[in-house]
Amino acid sequence: METALLEGFLTYLSVERGRAANTVISYERDLRKFGLFLQNESRGFVTFDKGEIINFIGLLRNEDYTSASIARMLSAIRSFCRYLILEKLRREDPSENLQTPARWERLPKAISVDDVRRLLEVIEGGELALRDLAMLELMYASGLRVSELVTLRVEDVNLEAGFVRVIGKGSRERVVPVSEGTIDNIRKYIKQLRMSLLKGKESPYLFISLRGTSLTRQRFWQTIKGYGRRAGLNVSPHVIRHSFATHLLEGGADLRSIQKMLGHSDISTTQIYTKVTSDRLKKVYEKYHPRA
């Protein structure tokens, strides 16, 4: 049913709406991803509501999709909803009045320093604990995006000098410092676990999966969510990166330095953290000041 419905929609797009072939292909890929999400949520391809669309968008943001990519997926879902109404498969449009990413107030979520400490403390005992601890430490210590973390090469890490070379969005290169504690954990992972994971094979990537291959960002996202549940926290790679920036700003770091470490091309993207920090300070003031 769902496959036939999707094929009917794609035919409608290309024949009746005259959409370009590349647009039809993109919409198909986006809707298949949405369909898998609905399947995991035990919802149907016709009976989903606005809440499912919002949760799906939240998942995309956690997986580090750009605003442009999310906007395209939302456009595909909107078109699909209109098609369902046209085919009399549903009466209302659940995508109506949903704002596009460009209009979202993108306030990053951040956990506290104590929460970060608690999250790191639950990473123990498992066969991949050394790797996972090194990865989470590095993400928090250096503010890496999840895509940058899983594609980090051994040659990009200078443990003696204490920095990593990162290739970020738009192939922009930056150098980010690494804390001593993180360096120690990376060394332990390399000496005690990495070679056994490779099983005699070679890989240019620093962090290796159980199969001896490079990690996917989706797999690491699932790993962080698992440790978060164990620690009683709702976390994702984006939350860890946001926490890195927020804690730096709260500690007195200047925006330009944070911009360089995060790899933002425009400082206006970094300035959002000043709003986050101001909101947090306001809450502290209102809670503790006797005249608040």
- What tokens appear for 85 in the block? 């109404």
Q: What angle do CA 233, 237, 239 make, to 5 degrees?
A: 55
Q: Name the residue type at position 82.
A: R
- DSSP assignment of 133-168 equals HHHHHHHHHH---HHHHHT-BGGGEETTTTEEEEE-
| Residue of 61, 72, 145, 242 marked active site | 145
Mention every residue, 6+ apart, whose C-beta is less than 8 A from residue 108.
238, 239, 242, 245, 246, 272, 273, 276
283 catalytic per annotation:
no
| Residue of 90, 169, 229, 283 marked active site | 169
264 catalytic per annotation:
yes
285 catalytic per annotation:
no
DSSP class of 195: H
| Residue of 131, 241, 242, 247 marked active site | 241
289 catalytic per annotation:
no
Residue with tokens 């039809």: 24
Please provide the size of the chain in residues: 292
Q: Write the Ramachandran bin of 42: left for phi over 0, alpha for psi from -120 to 50, otherwise beta.
A: left
238 catalytic per annotation:
yes
Dist. CA 170–CA 260, nearest whole Å: 14
| Residue of 61, 194, 247, 264 marked active site | 264
Mention every residue, 6+ apart, whose C-beta is less than 8 A from residue 242.
108, 109, 110, 273, 276
**Residue 176, φ and ψ in degrees, nearest 5:** -125, 135
| Residue 152 contacts residue 205 (beta carbons within 8 Å) | yes
241 catalytic per annotation:
yes
**Catalytically annotated residues:** 145, 169, 238, 241, 264, 273
